[in-house]
Amino acid sequence: MYHFFMHTDVHLLPGVDPNDLECLPSQPISSGIKLFLYNVDDTKVEWANRVVRALYPVQGKYTGLVFKRNQLSPKGCKDLVDALANNDTLKGKIEVEHLDISSQSITSTDNTELPSYTKRKLPKCNFN
Domain boundaries defined on the chain:
6-127
Q: How many residues does the chain have?
A: 128
Strand partners, 27: none
Over the stretch 42-95, which tens digit does the pLDDT of each residue have?
999 999 999 999 998 877 788 899 999 889 999 999 999 999 998 877 677 888
Distances (CA, A) of 71 to 27, 32, 45, 62, 75: 31, 26, 11, 22, 11
* Residues 42 and 79 sit within 8 Å (Cβ to Cβ): yes
Q: Enter the pTM of the model.
A: 0.87
**pLDDT for residue 12:** 92
Q: Which of 55, 42, 43 is nearest to 91 (CA)?
A: 55
